[in-house]
Chains A and B, each alone.
Chain A
Amino acid sequence: GEDVEQSLFLSVREGDSSVINCTYTDSSSTYLYWYKQEPGAGLQLLTYIFSNMDMKQDQRLTVLLNKKDKHLSLRIADTQTGDSAIYFCADYNNAGNMLTFGGGTRLMVKP
């Protein structure tokens, strides 16, 4: 079946850039997403990228997609303590009309 993998943990200093990586196996993914989850909360959509794009920028967020290697990354510029959360990547399969999530990357931002 489809699989989405992420590293478990990332620690950065406030003001640095954070890069969270994700790999996926579904070659028919049409969209790929990044969600943020704060403690005790649901999922907040941060950004998404269509599979025929290789980059998307949205304010402090930059998404890079390497479709050949099935690798997705999320770069957060000027990381703040409020960015501390768990970040999930997910792929959307048009045939299934459902999201497949990775296990999440916990981002810790140190002052």
Chain B
Amino acid sequence: DAGVTQSPTHLIKTRGQQVTLRCSPKSGHDTVSWYQQALGQGPQFIFQYYEEEERQRGNFPDRFSGHQFPNYSSELNVNALLLGDSALYLCASSPTPNRGQGGYTFGSGTRLTVV
């Protein structure tokens, strides 16, 4: 049973460019959440998608946007990249309803470097 898969694993972008990160949730999960983990820090919640809509959003600017497809996979888009966007981006999937019972499964992340 495949867990959460993310692509690409690494990428390097230039300031001002746009980037798209992809996530396929664990089989049986229909909710996808995205987290940003800057170097030396804990993950910070970006947003969550369920039924192809953004349901919750953390304290991130509108440059961060997302999408969920009918097969529950998701994309994270970041426009006008800044050096400070360099981080590990983690995708987590969960079933609905979750109720927090250990239902979050994390992918290995995409390491984004902005130069």
Contact = CB atoms under 8 A, between A and B. Distances in A.
A24 interface: no
Nearest to B109: A42
Contacts of B105: 45
Contact of B43 (A30, A43, A48, A94): A43
Contacts of A90: 42
Contact of B55 (A4, A48, A97, A100): A97
Interface string A89-110: 0101010111111111000000
A21 B30 CA distance: 33
Nearest to B47: A98
A42 B43 CA distance: 10
Contacts of B109: 41-42
Given A42-B90, A43-B90, A96-B56, A101 B104 contact: no
Contacts of B71: none
Contacts of B98: 97
Interface of B: 31, 33, 35, 40-45, 48, 55-56, 58, 90, 92, 98-102, 104-109
